[in-house]
Structure 1
Amino acid sequence: MAALAATATLGVTAATAGTGGPALRADSGFTEDRSADLAKAIDPAKPKNVILIIGDGMDDSIITAARNYTYGAGGRFPALDSLPFTGAMTTYGLKVGAGPDYPIAYVSDSAPTASGWSTGKKTVDSRLSQGPSAASNIPGENYETVLEKYQTQGKLVGNISTAEITDATPAAAASHISQRACQGPTDMTACAVEKKSATPAGLGSIAEQLVDHKIDVLMGGGKNRFVQATDAGPTVLDSAATKGYRLVEDSSQMNAVTSLEGGPVLGLFAPANMTTRFAPMVATATGAGGPYASCANADRGDQPDFSRMTRKAIELLDNDKGFFLQAESAMVDKQEHSADICGAIGDVVELDEAVQEALNFQADNPDTLILVTADHGHSTQIIPAAANAKLSTTLMTADGDPMTVGYSTAEAGQSQSHTGTQVRVAASGPQGANVTGVIDQTDLFATLLGRTPSELPPGEPAPSTPLKPAVQVAAATSVKASSLRNGLAVSVAASGAKKVTVTLSNHGRVLVTRALYSNGGDALLKTAQKVSGTLVVKVVATGDGGSATDTRNVRTTS
């Protein structure tokens, strides 16, 4: 893993997170020059595997709000904020017109923005991997996508989302249609000339096209689109079965699939969009929440979360020829439309966990390129007070201080709108340096496919002695013995490690052991065993440069 913090001294303090547990607050400054670390992270080779992770509507404002809530103003997301190469990406699109010079659309929806990186070309609102035209009801030219190109090369491909898998962002990867609303066979009113039963025959609805592509791993919500009858009679699910797809509908069924030898996988985990991590907290004109408000977990049943979907997709796609995976944390956008800050924050946190899954794979497969970005900006703003916005919500952050977020692009009960701001793009791995500076979405197309490698200038040889790991743990100073059934929350920060373990002991007896990510993370140490006196939290980080240990004593109370 190419993390810039590899040689930095860790400095962390415990803070009270909005979710009720300790968080890590990273020192906001650093003392050592990082140029050498950046130079080591540059690799001009074409990647073998490509993982593109999308936060729909995830601009810097919602990233900052989610970071403040989860880790504090001086904190950092363990995975998202560790990627060595970061830049800004413009998101504008086009408007219909006579052409060939189409008017600019400064604020775009997810269809043309996702089509931008999928095809390398600009298009108009609602259009998926299809070029602009004189009017919205006139289809444009179909453009070949990154996913389709990789399929032609013989690579395995995956496409997952927490929204309906037929929604605009996942649809742009492997469908071509003039209206994003034409998701299922009975949704084709606006796309009549593109139906399979049209003359000449079209490609059909988005659901039909995704199945026809025989994408190796296709998972998300949107089952309602696949149970619709096609023009030929059978449902899209029936068609998927004839193409060898195996249907999985919950976490247990997904986990039971261990390879693609039995055929491609179609995961449909909800009738429409999947459930968010946090229950909604919708902004109001008078201000929702309060200075002590926090987000509550939602009941997700047996739906897999985004990081588990990502881990399973990588596990299934991993092969000698390489793979391409597009993974979308979609509910950032959906909940911002609803002015629901908790729902949006939860999906940013889940995106960070999915990025960590990708980084874990990259640690053993350094020929993997990881790209993380958004399709467009959105309406969430961190503001001084409720009076500064039409609608607002206040939450207590990990700093223990209140944060107010506002929404002003629509009134209460209406959908908040996208914005035309540039968005973050970050990368790690081969050719990841191509995202630095200010780029456009269409520039990602060539990076996703692999550019012609350049030659690096000669430099000093890399040091042969591995750096010694560094580690630090944060935990509460006291805990009720009876509450340990629910878990003692601890947070660990590590660098230079390949393996990190944390144990909880009492009077020399180990109660529980947990393995963490190579850069640490959060854990709940649960035990039903009887305890008394002082608990010892011990974390050990081991790597090529040796090992490091840190401990914390936690007093138990009755």
Structure 2
Amino acid sequence: MKRRSLPALAAGTAAVLAVGIAAANAVPIGFGEDRSAELAKQIDPSKPKNVILIIGDGMDDSMITAARNYDLGANGRFAGLDNLAFTGAMTTHGLKAGTAPDYPIAYVSDSAPTASGWSSGKKTIDSRISQGPSEALNIAGEDYKTVLEYFKEAGKPVGNVSTAALTDATPGAAGAHINARACQGPRNMDATGANNCTPTKKSEGGKGSIAEQLVDNEIDVLIGGGYDRFAQATDAGPSVIDYATATYGYDLVRTAGELDAVTSIDDGPVLGLFAPENMTPMYQPFLATAAGSGGANTTCQASDRGTQPDLSSMTKKAIELLDNDDGFFLQTESAMIDKQEHAIDICGAIGDLVELNETVEVALEYQAENPDTLIIVTGDHAHSTQIVGGAGQGTQTATVRTADGDPMTVAYSTGVGGSNHTGAQIRVAASGPQAANVTGVIDQTDLFNTMMGRTPSTLPTDPAPTVTVTATPTQSPTPTPTPQPTSTPAPQPSSKPAVQVAAPKTVARGERAWIAVAAGDADTVKVVLIQGKNRITRTLKAAGGTFRLPALRAGSARVKVIAKGEGGTTKVKEAIRIR
């Protein structure tokens, strides 16, 4: 792709910074050149070595748009989520209990059958965890082997990360099989009705609860919430935690610091349990109301998360621990999008979606050094969050001020005092080997075959150009002159990337200012924000772009821009004072 000259681009990006967000929104959306050749270069039919599946529970296009508007503005684009090469739509319907083989269709599903769909490649019924349908909810179906289990069986390390309890439906479906998602711990197995899992108890000869099965599958990196489920006593007496550490040598970690200290899984798997149930969202709750909450000046406020790690740091650590020469599988879930949508909490849902984007950036950074890695990003089902024209246009509404400085109202109308799933198709996006299989409209069960590695196809090649020579009938052909030797010009060395950065020297505490970067002759451009021990990394386009600072505490911070190209690497550093 033709690169614009650095001075022209630098002038444009500096102007963006100078006039603030309004100018950033004035940047034309779209591309000046056809992208077909660039996109074609990213089609890779080979089987992936590593698979990173990133799930936003309840993440549909409406929720993605609301989070983007709030965090970046209407013309913004998430550096991770919106920067994957291939995008498609995905259907999420499931089945209802009934008589085989004609099970009725469930047009709106919960997280159990949807997660089971991509995990196993097969449809099932609500509340079912990687197990086939049956005539009643409390009657077990056939166990369906999952992608995680296939990788583990092949001797490759596997990981399962979530901001929910690890025994919840989405992480549970990756490595457990049970008729009811409610049977999360050993003490949850004797419920009556549809949630009865008594035949699956270990004391009855079954595989046990979801917590026990996740441990028995020896998942190498198992980190998230749900301590209270693993602390339950097993039928044999000891807790699931005691069973995990004594039987399989799991290393139990409870804080972000303890997780940071883990450097290898060579001596045994790691079990990280950072909250009793679900982990704390990025933002404090801000609930919609029937009268309409919030207004033009309402913003989301940061939560106190104590010693809990966030999703991107958990995912980064998981990748570091799983990385090896043979390949790995990792599922990581941003779970609180869905749970805060159920609670009509717009700020909680926005925060977890922003964290999902940061997690995608972590995966893309790894993929840049390991191109045989497939990244898939999607949700499990749609939700009812809708962006509307104003208060009163929904059963409950909430209004917040976006990055544009304008009010945005969201509505919840599928329940009174809560919100529910919907049956709409959702976004799926991917990058890496076989990522092109997510384009068009697919079903979530199709993801199973892509993650397992489809039989590679052969890409078409352009035929050699045909040259036709026409001789004049009455003349002899002109003899071809003997080529004369010529000197071959010496290859010219590539120039190191040129970089210009426009950054404010001083910002107010909590202010979310913009940084503009212009680059020339670069293949990759990254921005690293450093304040104390905290580091945030963003990947920009090869020509640069803009990066919005998060709310920073008082003190000093550093911005480092790293541009890499054929000619080498250029680094530019800027200091920012936060007052």
TM surpasses 0.5: yes
Matches within 5 A, 1:153-552: 153-189=154-190, 190-198=196-204, 201-242=205-246, 243-412=248-417, 415-459=418-462, 475=503, 479=506, 483=508, 489-492=513-516, 496-498=522-524, 500=526, 516-519=537-540, 521-523=547-549, 528=555, 539=561, 541-544=563-566
CA distance in 2 between counterparts of 1:70 and 1:487 reads 13
Give the residue type in structure 2 aligned to 1:100: P
Report the equivalent of 1:51: 52
- Which piece of structure 1 moves more, 22-31 or 365-374? 22-31
Q: Aligned pair in 2 of structure 1 residues 366, 221: CA closer, same or farther (>3 Å)?
A: same
Secondary structure at 1:369's aligned position in 2?
Answer: strand
CA contact (8 A) 1:536 1:552 kept: yes
Superposed CA offset, 1:254-309 (max 9, x none): 00001112210000000000000000100001111111110000000010000000
Secondary structure at 1:404's aligned position in 2?
Answer: strand
The count of residues paired between Structure 1 and Structure 2 equals 530
CA contact (8 A) 2:79 2:539 kept: no
Structure 2: state its 5+ residue gaps.
191-195, 465-491
CA distance in 1 between counterparts of 2:322 and 2:569 reads 33
Matches within 5 A, 1:118-133: 118-133=119-134
CA distance in 1 between counterparts of 2:100 and 2:336 reads 35
1:98: how far off? 1.0
CA distance in 2 between counterparts of 1:261 and 1:383 reads 52
Q: Which has the larger radius of gyration?
A: 2
Report the equivalent of 1:83: 84
Give the residue type in structure 2 aligned to 1:196: K
CA contact (8 A) 2:525 2:561 kept: no
1:514: how far off? 8.1
1:202: how far off? 0.9
Q: Aligned pair in 2 of structure 1 residues 132, 302: CA closer, same or farther (>3 Å)?
A: same
Q: Aligned pair in 2 of structure 1 residues 283, 545: CA closer, same or farther (>3 Å)?
A: farther
CA distance in 1 between counterparts of 2:338 and 2:169 reads 12
1:516: how far off? 4.2
CA contact (8 A) 2:553 2:578 kept: no
Q: Aligned pair in 2 of structure 1 residues 78, 492: CA closer, same or farther (>3 Å)?
A: farther
CA distance in 2 between counterparts of 1:225 and 1:536 reads 42
Report the equivalent of 1:508: none
Give the residue type in structure 1 aligned to 2:188: D
Give the residue type in structure 2 aligned to 1:377: A
CA distance in 2 between counterparts of 1:386 and 1:503 reads 37
Secondary structure at 2:46's aligned position in 1?
Answer: coil
Give the residue type in structure 1 aligned to 2:154: Q
Give the residue type in structure 1 aligned to 2:197: C
CA contact (8 A) 2:79 2:538 kept: no
Give structure 1 regions of 4+ aligned residues with deviation exceeding 3 angstroms.
4-17, 21-27, 464-476, 486-504, 511-518, 520-529, 535-540, 545-554
Give the residue type in structure 2 aligned to 1:389: G
CA contact (8 A) 1:28 1:75 kept: no
1:217: how far off? 0.2
Secondary structure at 2:76's aligned position in 1?
Answer: coil
CA distance in 2 between counterparts of 1:7 and 1:450 reads 38
Counterpart check, 1:103 vs 2:107: no
1:544: how far off? 2.4
- TM-score between both structures, scaled by the size of structure 2: 0.84
Q: Aligned pair in 2 of structure 1 residues 6, 348: CA closer, same or farther (>3 Å)?
A: farther
Structure 1: state its 5+ residue gaps.
505-510, 530-534
1:30: how far off? 1.7
1:541: how far off? 2.8
CA distance in 1 between counterparts of 2:294 and 2:364 reads 35
Q: Aligned pair in 2 of structure 1 residues 329, 553: CA closer, same or farther (>3 Å)?
A: closer
- TM-score between both structures, scaled by the size of structure 1: 0.87
Alpha-carbon RMSD? 3.4
Report percent identity of matched pairs: 59
Give the residue type in structure 2 aligned to 1:308: S
